[in-house]
Amino acid sequence: MSAMNLRVAGPRLAHAASQGTSLRSRRRYAPPSRHVSTVRPVRAALEDVVTMGDGRVEGEGSANREGGSVPPAEMDAQRFDLHWSVEFWRQFSAREALQDVMDEESPVSARLAAAQETLTSALTASNALASTDAFRFWAYHLVRSGFFSAQAIFGLSYARSAAERDSRSTETLTRMEAIAKSGWQGPLAEACLSYYQDFENIKAGKYGMPWDMNLNHRQFNPLYIARKAAAFVAEATDTLRRREEGRAEDVWIKSMGVPDYFKTFHYQSDGWMSSRSAQVYESSTETLFVGRQDAMQRTTLLLMEEALRGKDPSQVAALEVACGTGRFATFVKDAYPTMDLTLTDLSPFYLQEARENMKYWKRMRAPTLSLPGVDGNGTTFLQTKAEELDVADESMDVVYSVYLFHELPPDVQTAVAKEMARVLKPGGMVIFTDSVQRGDRPSMDDTLGNFGDFNEPFYRAYIERDLGGLFESVGLTCVAKAVNSTTKSLSFTKPQVEPMSVMIDDAGNN
């Protein structure tokens, strides 16, 4: 048993990354070749995808489900210029990539040897020791995934103990424990490749190193870690109990400002309507993704860099629709400190958490920064519905949202798209980041909709929605698409309005 040679497809990916190739270069991607009974290390898996050429991706494996509609991923391929990540993640399957490691019929010694070979070749291929930055990046992110994996295991263990003590069903826990135990096949393999893609973007100058890697950051404080971990375990126990019972809490606050479709999604406590919810949310979602959520969301910055290249950030106005805790907004602000940034959300509790996160970013990264807006960091906070933005027409250069649309019914998705287009300046860019859809990860197609069972009533409709067609219907033009693990990002522009020429006759009349 031997690891697949790293020369599978040559240095194509490394060359493309080193050249910082534009997303709009219209590449053609060849599907990776199939290798039987081989271990596919990180870089080999990535390099096996990219082939330079002209034209868009011609999706293979494009046969529709029997009697079904065209997968959204195929419609994307007809509308967007595709980043190399689109085809890579379309082809990638963790189970196939690590088949030697997970082959239960092989002797344990052979499986351990395969795992060692994979890790060694992956470490070498990722150039984790090639520079100080590379070492810092990989050390931080591997520790990060290790922590959130351990937190997931502990949380599940505690929840099982509570369920058995109260003589409750443990069916949901058993399913989630099986996922945790197969971490090599799923979340951890996805996380490593997600980090590789993230660091390639950093090396290409698309955005900087994550600002929270600073060892002085509060997330390295043992007391802060303990407090967040305890909050997560308590929330996970309550969430899994509700999921097992199939009974979500009602939204406790009643208001004309809270729309009827608003739910306590994910069976979480208080929906998004409490400080407790806001303070535990990021820890919960990062545990779900074993630490890769930030890396997936930073794909938004990849598309944003293309929109803002050559522009003075101090002259740019950006709007995040449904900002949640504002954690991702701190990465945006770190990339463009002088940008005029407006953060909106329906929940005042999450807006308060977003403000605290932005204040912490300023204290850590830009203490001398003095800009208009709240707390002198050039940020405005706005409580408003996404479908009724209290923002002036054509006032924003960039409008973006992260993980919003899958929690909206189709008619509200359309209303939000219209609002995003309305507030965007001509020539500006909308960036959409959310869950992958059917066809983006074919190996997941059969189970992707199961997330809807976690009190996500609109998710199954979302994964079938033609997003390109939606945004085109409100007057925007499709530009680019990128994928990172289970997250996709799309960009759109608003056409410039050509000035009308006026014909004047010799007498001076129009």
Do residues 357 and 325 make contact, with C-beta atoms less than 8 angstroms apart? yes
Per-residue pLDDT of 443-478, as tens digits, reads 899 989 888 876 688 999 999 999 999 999 999 999
Q: Residue-wise pLDDT tens for the chain (510 aa)?
A: 333 222 222 233 333 334 444 444 444 333 333 332 233 444 444 444 333 333 333 333 333 344 458 999 999 999 999 999 999 999 888 666 555 544 556 665 665 565 556 555 666 666 777 788 999 999 899 888 888 878 777 666 766 676 556 555 555 545 544 544 444 446 777 888 899 999 999 999 999 999 999 999 999 999 999 998 888 888 877 777 777 777 777 777 777 778 888 776 767 777 778 888 889 888 888 888 889 999 999 999 999 999 999 999 999 999 999 999 999 999 999 999 999 999 999 999 999 999 999 999 999 999 999 998 889 999 999 999 999 999 999 999 999 999 999 999 999 999 999 999 999 999 999 999 999 999 999 989 998 988 887 668 899 999 999 999 999 999 999 999 999 999 999 999 999 977 655 444 555 555
Which residues, 6+ apart, have CB-to-CB distance to 66 below 8 Å?
none
What CA–CA distance (Å, rounded) separates 394 from 161?
55
CA dist list (Å): 33 to 9, 16, 44, 202, 375: 9, 20, 11, 28, 54
Q: Give residue 173's pLDDT.
A: 46
- DSSP label at 454? T
**Predicted confidence (pLDDT) per residue in 205-243, tens digit:** 999 999 999 999 999 999 999 998 888 888 877 777 777
Task: Provide the token pair at 306.
Answer: 């293309």
CA-CA distance, 77 to 58, in Å (whole number)?
A: 7
Distance, CA of 72 to CA of 70 (rounded, Å): 6
- Let me know: does 78 contact 48? Beta carbons within 8 Å: no
Strands 477-484 and 487-493: antiparallel
What lies within 8 Å, CB to CB, of 425 at 6+ separation is 394, 395, 396, 397, 494
Q: Which of 498, 496, 490, 489 lies closest to 475, judged by CA?
A: 496
Other C-beta atoms closer than 10 Å to the C-beta of 104 total: 6
Please write down the HEC assignment for all residues of 357-394: HHHHHHHHHCCCCCCCCECCCCEEEEECCHHHCCCCCC
Sheet holding 487-493, edge to edge: 81-82, 477-484, 487-493, 424-435, 396-402, 317-321, 340-345, 379-383
In 3D, which of 173, 330, 143 has the Cα closest to residue 242? 173
DSSP class of residue 321 equals: E
pTM to 2 decimal places: 0.81
